Chain A
């Protein structure tokens, strides 16, 4: 990796030294212990989504890991939305960009730093869950099942990219609010493609709805059944990567043309 990008990423990740983040990690470990005994994830019967299969029977998603993923995304939203606007407000950005660091390198570095914070929270909490499971049940999760749970981390990458992109356009608080609204909309839209498949081809409002849907990455796709070495796994990675790059490209276009003073 480019050393300048790594430098910015490290600088961002060093925020975990703040007492608030230490508390967050402790919370993550306690949470991991508390949710380790939770059963396989299942939607409530009365919901429409209850009828959509999640993760399959071979490697089901465990509720605990799903809670940890959602919390990691939330941490991503709050850190991602505040980091760049805070640097601009405190003029820290001028200090960094005054060195031979381009705006793109700064942006990618920031993104990777935030990802590192989220991923570390995810991994610390997951590790706590795994250890708690070993202590309580006396055995380790089967490897395939464990890998399925850890693959939920793919969902974090696009959502952090979305937040970073929004933060390049607005101020700190607005970015947080918009990110929450946007990501909530993503959850709302996740059943759209499945619904559309059930509707007749000639339906007039099908195309406009699908066109709108494409603006919202689908979180549900990260929960569909897959094998460790299956083709779904590859496409899941491609999906996560493409959404991430698209949002980061928009962020970069905006960030390059933005007045930072």
Chain B
């Protein structure tokens, strides 16, 4: 390389460095002045032409979830983010949604945050990975008393949404017959189980279920975690 060319190369490299450095500084200065509460990216996206708006919005949402996943500190947080991502981002894409839920179920079967994934795959025939009743029960057993009630309720709602027969729903809820309820809220589950038993003509179980339901009315309700927190602060 000629001497002159070398000089030009060095000069241009130096000025490129100054350009990038000063640009980065001025960018920081400009960005620091923005009122982030006032200035929202949604305002800009809404002004885009309709044919590209949805695509851009989806890309941004996806990247936001990726950012949150990268910043997640615990597996629980990660599962929560993946669940929200599957529900909100892949609303009409069952295949993708099931893929994410399968990943959660396979990798984090012990985390209470996986409840949504477990319920979504519970006897879900559209998914290659299905959660069986036995698997779901095993998962419930690992949860806290509050989480357990939540999992039972979500599970029954999922089966109802999937229009599973009364037989299957009854089979799913059968362990509740031998279960000692912790909260008043279980009465609604026993009420539903009572109706199922009635439909399936299991007359011998009706008095047992009625008794169980009545027992629940004497129990304390599940406390709203936020209210419980407030109480703690007041104390």
Q: Residues of A at under 8 Å CB distance from B? A: 48, 51-53, 56, 193-195, 197-206, 214, 218, 220-221, 224-225, 231-232, 235-236, 238-239, 241-243, 245-246, 249, 252-253
Bitwise, B37-49 to A at CB < 8 A (1) or not (0) is 0111101100100
For B23, the closest partner residue in chain A by CB is A239
For B35, the closest partner residue in chain A by CB is A51
Give residues of chain B (36-76) contacting chain A, Cβ–Cβ below 8 Å. 36, 38-41, 43-44, 47, 59-60, 62-64, 66-67, 70
For A205, the closest partner residue in chain B by CB is B59
B192 to chain A, nearest CB (A): 42
> How many chain B residues touch the partner (CB < 8 A)?
36
Cα distance A198–B64 in the bound complex, in angstroms = 11
Cα distance A102–B199 in the bound complex, in angstroms = 101
Contact of B31 among A48, A197, A218 (CB under 8 A): A197
Cα distance A95–B73 in the bound complex, in angstroms = 72
Known A-B contacts A194-B31, A224-B26; the reply to A51 vs B64 at CB < 8 A is no
B81 to chain A, nearest CB (A): 12
B62 to chain A, nearest CB (A): 8
Cα distance A242–B18 in the bound complex, in angstroms = 6
- Flag if A200 contacts B34 (CB, 8 Å): no
The residue among B21, B27, B67 with the most chain A CB atoms within 10 A of its own CB is B27
- Flag if A246 contacts B30 (CB, 8 Å): no
Known A-B contacts A48-B43, A195-B41; the reply to A246 vs B67 at CB < 8 A is no
Contact of A200 among B12, B38, B66 (CB under 8 A): B66
- Flag if B60 contacts A200 (CB, 8 Å): yes
Cα distance A24–B48 in the bound complex, in angstroms = 40
A45 to chain B, nearest CB (A): 12
Q: Does B134 contact A (CB under 8 A)?
A: no
List, in ascending order, chain B residues with CB within 8 A of A253's CB. Answer: 8
- Flag if A243 contacts B63 (CB, 8 Å): no
- Flag if A200 contacts B30 (CB, 8 Å): no
A148 to chain B, nearest CB (A): 15
Known A-B contacts A51-B35, A51-B38, A195-B41; the reply to A235 vs B60 at CB < 8 A is no
Provide 7 A-B residue pairs closer than 8 Å at the C-beta atoms, listed in order of the A residue. Answer: A51-B43, A195-B44, A197-B31, A199-B41, A201-B67, A201-B70, A249-B15
For B30, the closest partner residue in chain A by CB is A224
List, in ascending order, chain B residues with CB within 8 A of A202's CB. Answer: 62-64, 66-67, 70
Contact of B30 among A198, A214, A221 (CB under 8 A): A221
